[in-house]
Amino acid sequence: MHTIINFLNQKRTIRKSLIFLSIIFVSFGCKKENNSKTEVFVTNESELNEAISKAEAGNTIIMANGVWKDIQIKFIGEGTEKAPITLKAQTPGSVFIEGVSNLEMAGNYLVVNGLFFRNGYTPTNDVISFRVSEKKVANHSRVTNCVIVDYNQLQRDKDDHWVQLYGKHNQFDHCYLAGKTNGGPTLRVDIRGNQSIRNYHQIVNNHFGPRPRKGGARGETIQLGGSFSSMSPGNTIIANNLFEECNGEVEIISSKTNFNEIRNNVFYKSEGSVVTRHGNYAIIDGNYFIGDGVNKNYGGIRLVNTGHWITNNYFYNIIGENFRSALAVMNGIPKSPLNRYNQVTDVVVAYNTYIDCKSPWQFGVGTNISQADVLPKSEIRSARALRTEVVNNIIYNKVGDKNVIIEHDKADGVTFKSNIINNQSVNFYDTLKIKAADFTLTKVSENIYLPTLTNEYEIYKGFGFETITKDLFGNSRETKNSIGATVQGEYIDPEILDKTKYGADWYSNEIEPTSPNIVVATNTEDDLETKISTSKSGDIISLSPGKYYISSPLVIDKTITIQSKENEKAEIIYTGTKNTPLFELNPYGILTLKNISLTGNGEQIVFSNLKENMSNHYGLTVQECDINNFNYVLKAYKQTFAQEITFKNSTISNCENGIELSEETNDKGDYNVEFLTIDGCTFTNINQNIIDYYRGGYDESTIGGNLLITNSTFKNCGSKEQNKILLNHRGIVNVAIHNNSFVDNKVKLVALLWGAKNNVASDNTIRNSGIIKTEENLKQKLMY
Amino acid sequence: MHTIINFLNQKRTIRKSLIFLSIIFVSFGCKKENNSKTEVFVTNESELNEAISKAEAGNTIIMANGVWKDIQIKFIGEGTEKAPITLKAQTPGSVFIEGVSNLEMAGNYLVVNGLFFRNGYTPTNDVISFRVSEKKVANHSRVTNCVIVDYNQLQRDKDDHWVQLYGKHNQFDHCYLAGKTNGGPTLRVDIRGNQSIRNYHQIVNNHFGPRPRKGGARGETIQLGGSFSSMSPGNTIIANNLFEECNGEVEIISSKTNFNEIRNNVFYKSEGSVVTRHGNYAIIDGNYFIGDGVNKNYGGIRLVNTGHWITNNYFYNIIGENFRSALAVMNGIPKSPLNRYNQVTDVVVAYNTYIDCKSPWQFGVGTNISQADVLPKSEIRSARALRTEVVNNIIYNKVGDKNVIIEHDKADGVTFKSNIINNQSVNFYDTLKIKAADFTLTKVSENIYLPTLTNEYEIYKGFGFETITKDLFGNSRETKNSIGATVQGEYIDPEILDKTKYGADWYSNEIEPTSPNIVVATNTEDDLETKISTSKSGDIISLSPGKYYISSPLVIDKTITIQSKENEKAEIIYTGTKNTPLFELNPYGILTLKNISLTGNGEQIVFSNLKENMSNHYGLTVQECDINNFNYVLKAYKQTFAQEITFKNSTISNCENGIELSEETNDKGDYNVEFLTIDGCTFTNINQNIIDYYRGGYDESTIGGNLLITNSTFKNCGSKEQNKILLNHRGIVNVAIHNNSFVDNKVKLVALLWGAKNNVASDNTIRNSGIIKTEENLKQKLMY
């Protein structure tokens, strides 16, 4: 109890400070009549508040261009259908909401237009909220033409949402949201309470731009509801949006309520899937899932629960496996707890087209019957799909696929009818489920190739199929029908990647490519520090030969490359105090070091980041470097995250500790780096924590991180390693240890692999260093 | 696997036999034209089958009056909305479907009219089924004006349904169903599969007549779906039905799907509740719950899950407690397994009227936090109702009630507004939740008394309350509204107990009361046997004084009373063979014995029933009798059930075993008698199983049986009782042991009471007989 009270007091104090600190704009408000509708021009918070409090149906409040800092807008009003109350930017995109700010709305028929949220974060749970209190919600209201970019909390573990919808009949459209790195779905619909069910919200024509990998759960781009309200009717519509590089976690859209409709969206190079995580009777119709045939993290549609209809969807170059396969039908838990996995039943997967997708249909996904020893009964996903129809679909593979269907568990409750495949005459598993056929593709656009059928194929008609009246392009299926996502011969380029169709009309995320500046630094006093701080993101700093004595941390807060000018390695000698880092990687700091020698006094750290307020990710690549005599090579703090950390062709020697990425010990599925790559390196005389990379918590759906150790040598390491394991990667899902040499390391195990997950090792030479052991089922704390 | 094959073969053999055995009716079919619609008159199975196979839209098939035995009707056809295909009785109620028979329907627009199912049972799971196979269902079809009475399987544990609806848009109306004693809901709606969801079935204007207590679970009168399909939309309508003495189990209607509507029904003296057991968003509107102020088993509405609206209901003289209270809001299990108890959230209880109901509002019902030691976490109901509104209700008590609201667990998630009570100035628990008010009642009819308000009371308006447009009687709430089930001043007697409004028009369950015949029997050879077999149900056999030597069991298959003619006890001396019963209680056998002495040779049984085929219940009352020297006093076999067994003012002595009602050891909640009453009796020298009464299985919703032991003496009993307990009643929920005397019984415990349930003992004298011990939480096998 004490803790809670303290926390509340603290929060109050912070709020007060923010109010005092908030800049008082000079007031120059004025009112002008415009076509009998009142427009109010406001320039500061008090004018805005007054205008809102006085606004009547039909009024428009215009916010002056400029930066509005530390402002909490409560937009409460009663508009009407014909005369809404509008809050808009003087010039769309020129009103910047910054600092500790947010927007809350309540009432009826409100419109918000043209705001740009950046350089800050919300003091509450939401940046834009369609309510001001639990029962005071907004209805029939709209947020349009707004942008939120990088509006992240200072700490990754402080969850929030950028948009949260409550109430009914609201619309969020033509907005651009990108760069969320902290926990929490980017956009969420809450349906707890009768005020928010059957909401018919429209989330349409938005551009969901890149969301970086989060390194754990709670990184969805859209979440509809939650398991505890998953029995309620949501009726939310997500349509005509572009999802671009939405890589936050394994679920791009997590549908957790009933009767939602996900239509005509484009999922472009997004590392995740549309998942019917809870709730039932979703319609997922006419969507495009575009991969590149290389990245296995781009997924399709993953199904849990009852009654979903997956129709008219197009999948291209999706090669994800298992959870991330184009169609992943999960096993459920018999009598599942509310927050776990219900069985798939009464699902229809009809009229979809799969082009060059690897093993696009996977059933029994998530089965873990073999883990019955380490998991409680209430975690065992053994309930196979029932009363499910997979029919009228077309698959085309330009290179034949031997495993078109993968049954992790038997698909014996699934009816397969009227499915065809052109598999280039390569045999595939089950010709009863899909019939081999000979047909060609017609190119419609860059990513769209549609089957041109020369034969007539029988169309299976299940219960309710008469409701599937249109195809992917909206052509009628009633007059002329065909299996596959489209009827034959009606191909118009849908221009799915034309970004002008999505998001705010005044904002583009396309960046002109620029060439980096090459900046030469010498070892004269402070020259390197100055060059780093004055160079632009993307620049290359080229070190003249010589010794660089550095006495305090070099702050890296942008993308920067530091490399030796000549072949000969420039030498950086760090003379800073104990446990300070030579390179302090700040938010946005993405450092590449090439061909440099780094030497310490045995007590410092080479690379580290901020202990607090890592409000955005960092990154590190080390190539052809020599690192010698430090306490730590890399020390990552809790709540810091790098998408990639790479050591290549480098030597690391005589350090007390190696690469330490093991601070996420909350066992909630979080971890400190998505990809840790060690290739062609030599580790010598590293006493402990040679590689220490941790992910904790039993969570089948955080399916990272990734550790790759190849072509490297580890020698005389681990003498002080308490757990007697050289490479510590407990809980990491993907581990590959290949072609390495382990010599005279004083440990019992080189590595302990997690057999049930994707942990593999091969072609390693091990001498006097223990063994590589595999444990099939690692015990993990239950997260749920 | 072998077992299954054998079972199938066996089943096939049985079916074949039935076909051979079926009586071949003489064929005298004829066709006649009638208003351009074809009518086909059929007199036997083959004519019927032919007529069905040839039937076209608009056709009528008329079944000839008489008994149709062992017939499985498959009524398959394609009618149209304007021209259905009808199967009807020549004279409604004169076509008797008997023996091993059933009716299955599939197709569209079929009508069945006027059939009477009796004297038999179904060979399948359903007597009337709206499908012929999993996917061949009936739609837009109707069964009307039919009756099913006592159409029970031979064994109580063989479950079936009398009516099962599949498909969509079917109607079951104006039927009478009564007397189901075996397991399985009387009427069930199945919604597994897309062919049966959103079914909008209408179950209307039926008369659900008495369903006897079943003694365990699976005795619902109506069940909508099941937990495994509880995520699907049902949209079933149950309206304008009369439920009379539907006592099968604790749930009269068990709603397990979503969006069902239960409107304007009358629940008359029915020992159970309307329960939203699974599924969400039920509407329970305008129903009458009529009790008698005496029987505590008559319940009201019990709520589990989300989003239900309980409006405009009228409760009269309902004094049920806990699960059976007029309004029982249950605690849920956090993250409940699919088949257990979800939390109550987003429920509205508005505009209801409660007249003379005891503690009508109970919250936290089913809380079992205190049982955390003996139950797994997934069984602990600790999640209190959330976001629930109890508003605009009226309560009237002619005798003030100190505990109007009972909070088994806190109702802190419930909003109480605009509720009033006339509690005759008696203080009650919480005046914030209900306001004391002064108003009178107006008598509308026998069971209907409505509040007449003299003051205006504010009406609370929650989200969506504008959809409550009518009151209990159908009066508009839009023009003139009031709290309570009815608007003010618009009282017309709804004649809720006018039975002509419900059920088949040709059938009445009203029986003229007749005086019993008094038949005198003497002890001349076989006279008693003859008198028993020739007397009518209800008769009294009066024994002339003397000794009656009976050498084989007396079969009791009707209601009969046997008593001594004079004050002096007639003596029955049983000379039958070992382990045979003096009285063999057959189905329907309800025996009352008065003032008789019964003596055996120490090896026989006084009362027993059939080992198999107890297709209906029996009953036993023993008054002022002396029982001496038997092996068993009463031995009940498995699958036998008595609603009441009573021993009063009788002596029982020198028997090896006493009253043995402990055969239901499957631990599924079943038991052998509902009420076992021992009053004023003396048990002497009973060696073991003095009272042995068992209910097994942890099941919070089978809330019987009932054991009452009062004013009795137990002496020198239990010498061979292995478990050293005199009164064995393990698992029985209601046990009362009062004012007895226990002397010199060689046991350790007189009784082991289950503290958490309704087990009580008081004012007993115990000498040299161990103690009465209470165990708070009895360990029970989990049923689910």
- Name residues whose C-beta falls within 8 Å of residue B513's C-beta, 6 or more positions apart in sequence: none
Specify the pLDDT at position A546: 96
Q: Is A337 on the interface with B (CB under 8 A)?
A: yes
The arithmetic mean of pLDDT across residues B368-378, rounded, is 87
Calpha distance B602→B582 (Å, rounded): 12
pLDDT band at B784 (very low <50, low <70, confident <90, very high): low
Neighbours of A78 (CB within 10 A): 14
Q: Which uninterrupted H or E stretch holds A533?
A: helix A527-534
* Inter-chain residue contact A195 with B281, CB threshold 8 Å: no
- pLDDT, residue A784, reads 67
Residues of chain A with pLDDT under 50: 1-36
**CB-based contact B192 A232, cutoff 8 Å:** no
Interface contact A345, partner B, CB < 8 A? yes
CB-CB neighbors (< 8 A) of A343 in chain B:
228
Note whether B194 contacts A229, CB cutoff 8 Å. no
Q: Between chains, do A378 and B229 touch, taking CB under 8 Å as contact?
A: no
User: Which chain B residue lies closest to A257 (C-alpha atoms)?
Assistant: B231
Q: How large is the average pLDDT for residues B157-171?
A: 98
Q: Are B232 and A306 inside 8 Å of each other by CB?
A: yes
Which chain B positions have a beta carbon within 8 Å of A784's beta carbon?
335
Whether B231 sits inside 8 A of A784 (CB atoms) is no
Question: Distance, in angstroms, between A110 CA and closest chain B CA?
Answer: 19
Give A-chain residues touching B337 at CB under 8 angstroms.
335-338, 378
Q: Can you read off the two tokens belonging to residue B325?
A: 């209270």
Helix (H) or strand (E) holding B689: strand B682-693
Judge: B335–A337 Cβ closer than 8 Å, yes or no: yes
Kindly report which listed range (B276-290, B410-424, B477-491) carries the lowest average pLDDT score: B477-491
Residue B397 banded pLDDT, cuts 50, 70, 90: very high
B499 in contact with chain A, both atoms CB, cutoff 8 A: no
Torsion of CA A454, A459, A465, A466, to 10 degrees: 70
Whether residues B337 and A378 touch (CB distance < 8 A) is answered with yes
A520–B contact, CB cutoff 8 A: no
Indicate the residue of B233, B342, B784 with minimum beta-carbon distance to A338: B342
Chain B residues close to A197, C-beta within 8 Å? 307, 346
Contact A346 B197 (CB under 8 A): yes
Pairwise CB contact (< 8 Å): B463 & A194: yes
- The answer to whether A192 faces chain B, any CB pair under 8 Å, is yes
**Sequence-separated (6 or more) residues with CB below 8 Å from residue A573:** A547, A548, A549, A550, A599, A600
Q: C-alpha distances in angstroms, B496 versus A621, B492, B598, B725?
A: 82, 11, 48, 50
B378 touches chain A (CB under 8 A): yes
CA angle A677, A681, A684 (to 5 degrees): 125
Pull the structure tokens for residue B431: 């005046």
Which residue of B lies nearest to A338 if distances are taken between CA atoms? B335
Residue A189, chain B, CB below 8 Å: the answer is no
Tell me if A348 and B231 make a contact (CB, 8 A cut-off): no
Answer whether B784 touches A (CB < 8 Å). Answer: yes
Q: With an 8 Å Cβ cutoff, are A194 and B233 in contact?
A: no
Task: Identify which has the larger pLDDT, A15 or B442.
Answer: B442
Q: B654, exposed or middle or buried, with CB in 10 Å at 0-12, 13-18, 19+?
A: middle
> Which residues have C-beta within 8 Å of that of residue A68, sequence separation ≥ 6?
A25, A45, A95, A96, A97, A98, A101
* Cβ-defined contact of B232 to A194 (cutoff 8 Å): no
Are the beta carbons of A197 and B233 separated by less than 8 Å?
A: no
Of A306, A338, A343, the CB nearest to B336: A338
Does residue B324 contact residue B296 with C-beta atoms inside 8 Å? yes
**Residues of A in Cβ contact (< 8 Å) with B462:** 194
Residues of B in contact with A461 (CB under 8 A): none
Note the pLDDT of residue B83. 97
Both tokens assigned to B524:
């001349």
d(CA A217, CA B694): 50
Compute the count of residue pairs across chains A and B with CB atoms less than 8 Å apart.
92
- pLDDT single digits (tens) A622-661: 999 999 999 999 999 999 999 999 999 999 999 999 999 9
Question: Does the beta-carbon distance from B231 to A307 stay under 8 Å?
Answer: yes
Fold of the CATH domain B535-775: Pectate Lyase C-like (2.160.20)
Q: Is A461 on the interface with B (CB under 8 A)?
A: no
Of B193, B339, B463, which has the smallest distance from its Cβ to A346's Cβ?
B193
What would the mean pLDDT of B336-353 be, rounded to a whole number?
97
- Residue B407's pLDDT band (boundaries 50, 70, 90)? very high
Q: Which chain B positions have a beta carbon within 8 Å of A464's beta carbon?
A: 194
Q: Which of residues 128-147 of B touch A (CB under 8 A)?
A: 135
Q: Chain A contact for B387, CB < 8 A? A: yes
CB contact under 8 A, B281 and A306: no
CB contact B280 to A (< 8 Å): yes
What backbone torsions phi and psi does residue A73 show, to the nearest 5 degrees? -85, 125
User: How distant is the Cα of B233 from the closest Cα of chain A, in angstroms?
Assistant: 9
Smallest CA–CA distance from B343 into chain A, residue: A228
In angstroms, the Cα distances linking B476 to A19, A717, B198, B467, B486 are 52, 85, 28, 11, 9
Its pTM surpasses 0.90:
yes
The per-residue pLDDT for B783 is 66
CB A642 within 8 A of CB A617: yes
Give the whole-number percent of chain B exceeding pLDDT 70. Answer: 95
**Across the interface, do B231 and A305 touch by the CB < 8 Å criterion?**
yes
A348: contact with B, CB 8 A cutoff: yes
Distance (Å) from the C-alpha of residue B382 to the closest C-alpha of chain A? Answer: 15
Question: pLDDT for A279-338, tens place per residue?
Answer: 999 999 999 999 999 999 999 999 999 999 999 999 999 999 999 999 999 999 999 999
Check residue B332 and give its pLDDT: 97
As annotated, the residues of chain B forming the CATH 2.160.20.10 domain(s) are 535-775
Is a pLDDT exceeding 70 seen at residue B411?
Answer: yes
Identify which of A337, A345, A387 has the shortest CB distance to residue B336.
A337
Question: Distance (Å) from the C-alpha of residue A177 to the closest C-alpha of chain B?
Answer: 32
Q: Does A782 reach chain B within 8 Å, measured CB to CB?
A: no
User: Which residue from B135, B194, B345 is facing A346, i.e. has the nearest CB?
Assistant: B194
pLDDT value at residue A152: 98
**Region label for A155, one of left (φ > 0), alpha (ψ between -120 and 50) or beta (otherwise):** beta
Torsion of CA A761, A767, A770, A776, to 10 degrees: 20
- Stretch B30-34: mean pLDDT: 43
What is the least distance, in Å, from the CA of B419 to any CA of chain A? 20
Q: Does A339 touch chain B (CB under 8 A)?
A: yes
* B745 inside 8 A of chain A by CB: no
Enter the tokens of residue B246: 């539907």
Instruction: Measure the CA–CA gap between A141 and A124, rounded to whole angstroms.
Output: 21
Q: Provide the Cα torsion A208, A212, A213, A218; round to 10°.
A: -60
Which residue from A minimizes the CA distance to B338?
A335
Provide the pLDDT for residue B26. 34
d(CA B752, CA B776) in angstroms, rounded, equals 10
